[in-house]
Amino acid sequence: MATTTINASLQGIVERQDTSGSTINWLTTTRDAASGTSTTTVTSNTNLTGMKAQYELAKGVYSSTCVRTFLFFDLSGINGTITAATLKVLADTNGNTDDVQVVPSTAWGGDGTTTTLSTGDYDGVEFDGTSGSNYGSILSWTASAYNDFTLTSDAITDMNNDGYLNCALINQDNDYRGITLSLSTDIVHGIEFLDPTNPIKVEITYTPDGWNEIVNGVANASIANVIGVSESSIANINK
């Protein structure tokens, strides 16, 4: 087995905000919207609200908001089969302790060829029940620390098949599960993006290609030329 760490190469947020003088259905109007209302593609170290589920009334105006974080990791340099992975996301000092979910995403052009988020990427996520897959969750978000997501077998399979990890972080209880918000709810999770010391990253365990056929860089078929013992006789060496 071998290990490696890959930092997120693309990262940002898409926000959907609706305001009205009358009540808003957070679930159907905001959460289920086909597009966001604003985007931020992060290119320098900054703290942002990474996930949000909010529905409030102030001065006669209803406000309904949902924020999602989108991340992309290029795994093409891994020469082997991934067996385990942990996504590590640094939280800033701001945030609730509510659950956060990692889900598959189709942002960034799907395969990372698009390097800027668009408002249309907002609905490029898989909700609970969309395809039966999810990538992992945190049951209690922790501020001012790394939050570690143990990625699921769904994520591992996609990473091996695709050569990248394209995922989104969303509020679990309401956004992922599709449960509407009651009035006067504001669930916020802050993220520190592109921190030079503690970047958003995925720690990977993998089995290198051909690991069981290589001895100090020499293939089995060539061992006879190195130690003067035929390949068929190697099994008898330790007898």
Instruction: Answer for the pair 39, 118: CB distance below 8 angstroms, yes or no.
Output: yes
Looking at residue 218, its pLDDT comes to 52
How confident is the model over 68-121, as pLDDT tens digits? 999 999 999 999 999 999 999 999 987 788 899 999 999 999 999 999 999 999
DSSP 160-185: HHHSEEEEEEEEIIIIITT-PPPSSE
Its domain, for residue 195, covers 2-208
Pair 79, 155 in one domain: yes
pTM above 0.85, yes or no: yes
Q: What backbone torsions phi and psi does residue 85 show, to the nearest 5 degrees?
A: -155, 145
Pair 14, 103 in one domain: yes
Q: Which residues of the chain form beta strands (DSSP E)? A: 2-7, 10-20, 38-41, 46-58, 61-74, 80-95, 100-104, 136-138, 146-150, 164-171, 185-193, 201-208, 214-215, 218-219
Q: How far apart are CA 197 and CA 113, in angstroms?
A: 27
Pair 237, 141 in one domain: no
Pair 63, 181 in one domain: yes
Pair 166, 238 in one domain: no
Q: How far apart are CA 8 and CA 6, in angstroms?
A: 7
H helices of the chain, where? 153-162, 223-227
Pair 192, 104 in one domain: yes
Instruction: Answer for the pair 91, 49: CB distance below 8 angstroms, yes or no.
Output: no
Pair 203, 221 in one domain: no
Looking at residue 140, its pLDDT comes to 86
How many domains in the chain?
2
Q: Which residues of the chain have pLDDT under 50?
A: 213-215, 220, 223-224, 226-227, 231, 234-235, 237-239
Instruction: Answer for the pair 155, 93: CB distance below 8 angstroms, yes or no.
Output: no
Pair 105, 137 in one domain: yes
Pair 49, 26 in one domain: yes
Pair 145, 168 in one domain: yes
Pair 223, 201 in one domain: no
Pair 218, 121 in one domain: no
Looking at residue 139, its pLDDT comes to 80
Looking at residue 130, its pLDDT comes to 59
